[in-house]
Amino acid sequence: MVKRRIWLMIALVALLALISGCSQVNQPITPESKGFWNHYIVYPLSWLITYVAKLFDSNYGLSIIIVTILIRLLILPLMIQQTRNAKAMQALQPELQKLREKYSSKDMQTQQKLQQETMLLFQKHGVNPLAGCFPILIQTPILIGFYHAIMRTREIANHNFLWFDLGDKDPYFILPVVAGVATFIQQKMMMAGTEQQNPQMAMMLWMMPIMIIIVGINFPAALSLYWVVGNIFSIVQTYFIKGPDLKSTHSGGKKK
């Protein structure tokens, strides 16, 4: 299931990158820009960032922070559901391990039986193994849309914030590193207690932050700013949702 989820994420990112890359990427975004991607994703984000910036004396960095928080609040119900689903998946790990041991043979018939029993177990406990993908499915077009909005809205790309220009790379690589660290902390909190049970999840724990740092180094600093704010929001959110579990996991580690 985890492998399928990883491949689903990779396929989605590749598809959206292909679609967005073919949508007048070098042309300024305007209300007259044609195409579904431009009209319903890029321009609304560009308009919202510009509108909020005008409320704060054309401070586009502050606008990106505010819009990011608004977006996170909008998808908060999905994130809460993802967290609850992750807790339910963690609780099912012992039973899933028993099923893997029971159907350990690698022949096709046995593996089909394992999948059937696994799905029945999920249905019995009301767990959706793909629920963790929903926030990513929503955030991926927003993330790529942010990149296009920044690159194709001159007002955004031509402004600076703190020590960096929003339309250029962070000259000191501070934002990409902070974005990667924040991603690691957020994922570590989400996966608390599951890394040893699921090697694929442990791999994702390190792979995603590294990917974000690499992308952040090569993309406009405004994109890293979006990641930093979004992940800090997620860290706070995860702490309040999984606080008791995080404390029990931490104290359990101390006892050992």
pLDDT in tens, 157-195: 788 888 888 888 888 899 999 988 988 888 787 766 555
Tokens 């007259």, residue? 32
Going by C-alpha positions, the residue among 101, 81, 46, 88 that lies closest to residue 222 is: 46
18, pLDDT greater than 70: no
Alpha carbon distance 129, 120 (integer Å): 12
Range 8-19 average pLDDT: 54
Range 78-96 average pLDDT: 77
1: confidence class by pLDDT, cuts 50, 70, 90 = very low
Its pTM stands at 0.72
**Of 14-28, 33-47, 175-189, minimum mean pLDDT range:** 14-28
Half-sphere exposure of 117 (CA within 13 A, CB side): 17
Range 45-68 average pLDDT: 92
In terms of pLDDT, which residue wins out, 253 or 144?
A: 144
53: confidence class by pLDDT, cuts 50, 70, 90 = very high
180 and 170 Cβ atoms separated by less than 8 Å: no
Sign of CA dihedral 188, 191, 196, 198: negative
At 201-214, the pLDDT tens digits run 667 678 888 888 88
Torsion angle in degrees (nearest 10) through CA of 18, 23, 26, 28: -140
In terms of pLDDT, which residue wins out, 3 or 37?
A: 37
Number of Cβ within 10 Å of residue 112's Cβ equals 11
Q: What is the pLDDT of residue 54?
A: 92
Q: What is the pLDDT of residue 177?
A: 92
Q: What is the pLDDT of residue 59?
A: 92
119 sits in the region (left: phi over 0; alpha: psi -120 to 50; else beta) called: alpha
For residue 186, give every residue at least 6 positions away whose Cβ sits within 8 Å of its Cβ, in sequence order, or none.
231, 234, 235, 238
Alpha carbon distance 229, 234 (integer Å): 9
Q: What is the pLDDT of residue 13?
A: 55
256: confidence class by pLDDT, cuts 50, 70, 90 = very low
3-state secondary structure of 167: coil
248, pLDDT greater than 70: no
At 141-158, the pLDDT tens digits run 777 787 788 878 888 878
126, pLDDT greater than 80: no
Q: 134-152 and 76-102 are packed helices; what angle lies between their axes, rounded to 10 degrees?
A: 130
User: DSSP string spanning 20-64?
Assistant: HHTS-TTS---TT--SHHIIIIIHHHHHHHHHHHHHTTT-HHHHH
Alpha carbon distance 215, 17 (integer Å): 13
For residue 161, give every residue at least 6 positions away whose Cβ sits within 8 Å of its Cβ, in sequence order, or none.
59, 60, 61, 62, 64, 221, 222, 225
Q: What is the pLDDT of residue 66?
A: 94
Q: What is the pLDDT of residue 153?
A: 84
